[in-house]
Amino acid sequence: MKIPHLKKKSEIKTCHNISWEDDYSWIHQDDILEVLKDSKKLNPEVRKYLEEENSYTDFHLSDTKTIQKKLFDEIKGRIKLDDESLPFKDFDYEYWSKTTTKGNYSIKLRKKIGTNNIEEIWNGDEEKEKLKVEYFGVGDLEVSFNDKYLGYSLDTKGSEYYTIYIRDINTKKLVTEKIEETSGSITFSLDDQYVFYSKLDENHRPRKIYRHKLGTKVSEDQLIFEEKSEAFTVGIGLSADDKYFFINSSDHNTSEQYYFDVNEKDPKPKLIKKRQRGILYSVNSWDGKFYNHTNENAEDFKIDISNSLEKPDWKTFIAAKDEVLIGGLTFLKNWIIRSETSDALDKLFVKNITTGIEEELIFSDETVYVPGASLMQRDKNTDEIYISYSSPKTQSRVYSYNLSTKEKKLVKEQEIPSGHNPDDYIVERVDCKSHDGRLVPLTITRHKNTKMDGSAQLLLYGYGSYGSSMSPSFSTTRLSLINRDIIWVTAHIRGGMERGMKWWKEGKLLNKKNTFEDYIASAKYLIENKYTSKNQIIGMGGSAGGLLMGAVVNQAPELFLGIIMAVPFVDSLTTNLDHSLPLTVGEFDEFGNAKDKKDHFDYIYSYAPYNNIKKMDYPHMLITTSLSDNRVLFDEPAKFTAKLREYKTDNNLLLLKTEMNAGHGGKSGRDGAIEEIALDYAFALKISKKI
């Protein structure tokens, strides 16, 4: 089949007295945010190219249709389709959700406490059918405090412009005007007369908080708070003791918080502490005291306590620890639950408020696992909570746990209908030395029968941005590769917070290349230690993890058999220079500001995947994107693919797949998500010659 070619229209770009040529910049439309809302506004020539690439991908993966179907059935066969969540007990009702064999979306249910009368208050599949849309994204689903109203927000394009609806649960009729172009979050007032929401500006940034009175016109909504900085975005939430609303304004690196009493008739948010560059803080209130989770004078966070916000006198409640990330607090009447993260592993601690004694909750004798804790009910006067754990080889198990007696009872175990034996798998945690001597944790999961002589293929997953830590949790999908002797390795590289804030700082801004070096060092370690061999590794990452893939494949293509990148941030220099795009300004403290700072420009230019494509051999590559993605515009992977076709000197596969009705998270619905995974895995098996 003929290889697609995107027309070249040379443009000379200039910044900081440096010029470079961009042959494909023309595909970016000035009205791109309008295209995200209405794909009919897409340049017809660009649409034609994307459709040609889709046809080309379908042609070259036509021999994988059988394995795609098999993988789909395998993955779906590991899911208990007709499942129910554990109930959460509100004051008058118990609420929970369920999925069905046929449905793609969840159903929300409730039962009045003391009765057996179950009500269905939300059915995602029915709502989608009513709207006659292909994409159906649910942003928020909230019930009012009087249990009378259901608030929900929907994105029907994939572009994350959410419309809020409030309806009467009993009549299912809307009780107020729909609220459009919001971030999606819904917060009811305690008297259920109002909802608070954040409105998106012309650049798709939530910088205003409004209060809407139910039954009134949206045009009459009251502006409660406005953030003036284009780099900051805002959100609103309720305190743990239901006494205050907190408004949080932040970028990735700095935060500022305001509060007002839940009973204020005309809310006037009051500043807690003025923003200070590089300082993150988050205040909550409980039992007449205020708790501040902050990194001020505590790189890896601490928690301070004060009796007042008007005249604060902050004292240490949980002290900072070096390279141990201190998490937030969950409150009960007699207990405080908190988390810590170190060496890419989480721990949970419980403190008895009366005695002051704190103990770690031990869940399992496995070395690598993910613990969890959640509340069973809204009434905080209880000793009962849910605790859970999973590991890369062990499915999730949830227990009811009495904090006082320490008795636990298994209440839900993730069911794998097609069967699963954790003893068939081996999980290892190793550290590999990076280029500068820093030790990078690797979580390795393999089948016990996979040979350890270097002959196995290996999938190396990485992300490494925004301080987002990769959790070593259980995944039913990965088993489809692991069972076929492909070892799965998660590299906990810098840019995340697996080793605290320092781990993040060492992988961003002018340290960003450490993220790429860590990943390459991980690949080399796995080769040297006979987990796999050169040219047998499949790299995988999405979004900022796609930036990682693009950078490392330009730097060390010889290590890889293939690369799978989803919605990849590969034209990072162009995006960073465009301050009108939704995420750019808010990410100056993550990636830098190339437009205004020459050292940032030079650094980003030196690694940006699109700008650093070379004339050389590249491994097999599958690149997926979505037309309505507002976080990483589809034109980034489209440009990257077109330029790569021009430069690469090999005959390996280069495939671009664009979902024409999806967003940053891909297709909506359970089956849609499984189809995308099956496509990725089929590509991996094809290049591994396992089909």
* Residue 423 DSSP SS3: helix
pLDDT at residue 119, as a whole number: 97
Mean pLDDT of 231-240: 97
Structure tokens at 369: 């696992």
Q: What is the rounded CA–CA span in Å between residue 413 and residue 78?
A: 13
Find the helix or strand (DSSP H, E) in which 517 lies. helix 513-528
pLDDT over 90 at 7, yes or no: yes
Known active-site residue 629: yes
The strand pair at 270-273 and 281-286 is best described as: unpaired
Residue 95 forms beta bridges with which residues? Answer: 88, 110
pLDDT over 90 at 595, yes or no: yes
Please give the CATH topology (third level) of the domain spanning 26-76+423-580+615-687: Rossmann fold (3.40.50)
Q: Which is the catalytic residue, given 447, 664, 680, 688?
A: 664
Q: Name residue, tokens 């070892």.
A: 487
Mean pLDDT of 355-363: 93
**Chain CA centroid to CA 444, Å:** 22
Q: What is the rounded CA–CA span in Å between residue 452 and residue 449?
A: 9
CA dihedral over 546, 549, 555, 561, signed as positive or negative: negative
pLDDT tier for residue 683 given thresholds of 50, 70 and 90: very high
pLDDT tier for residue 390 given thresholds of 50, 70 and 90: very high
pLDDT at residue 298, as a whole number: 97
Residue 622 forms beta bridges with which residues? Answer: 564, 655
Known active-site residue 543: yes
* pLDDT tens, residue by residue, 248-299: 999 989 999 999 999 999 999 999 999 999 999 999 999 999 999 999 999 9
Buried b (16+ CB within 10 A) or exposed e, 41-56: ebeeebeebbebbbeb
pLDDT tier for residue 143 given thresholds of 50, 70 and 90: very high
* pLDDT tens, residue by residue, 157-188: 999 999 999 999 999 999 999 999 999 999 99
Q: Which is the catalytic residue, given 346, 629, 635, 680?
A: 629
Q: Which is the catalytic residue, given 282, 543, 628, 668?
A: 543
Mean pLDDT of 199-205: 95
pLDDT at residue 363, as a whole number: 83
Q: Name residue, tokens 């590794």.
A: 537
* pLDDT tens, residue by residue, 433-479: 999 999 999 999 999 999 999 999 999 999 999 999 999 999 999 99
Percent of the chain with pLDDT over 70: 100
Locate the domains of the chain by residue range: 26-76+423-580+615-687
pLDDT at residue 691, as a whole number: 86
Q: What is the rounded CA–CA span in Å between residue 584 and residue 505?
A: 19
pLDDT at residue 397, as a whole number: 97
Mean pLDDT of 625-653: 96
Mean pLDDT of 408-424: 97
Q: What is the rounded CA–CA span in Å between residue 616 and residue 555?
A: 11
Buried b (16+ CB within 10 A) or exposed e, 604-624: bbebbbbbebeeeebbbbbbb
Contacts 24+ apart (CB under 8 A), 235-240: 235/183, 235/185, 235/198, 235/206, 236/185, 236/187, 236/196, 236/198, 236/209, 237/187, 238/187, 238/262, 239/284, 239/285, 239/286, 240/284, 240/285, 240/286, 240/330, 240/331
Q: What is the mean pLDDT of the chain?
A: 97
Mean pLDDT of 583-599: 95
For residues 390 and 370, the answer to whether their CB atoms sit within 8 Å is: yes
Find the helix or strand (DSSP H, E) in which 20 lies. strand 18-22
Q: Which of 686, 620, 684 is nearest to 652 (CA)?
A: 620
pLDDT at residue 364, as a whole number: 86
The predicted model scores a pTM of 0.95
Percent of the chain with pLDDT over 90: 98
Structure tokens at 532: 């796999």
The strand pair at 560-566 and 620-626 is best described as: parallel
Known active-site residue 664: yes
* pLDDT tens, residue by residue, 320-356: 999 999 999 999 999 999 999 999 999 999 999 999 9
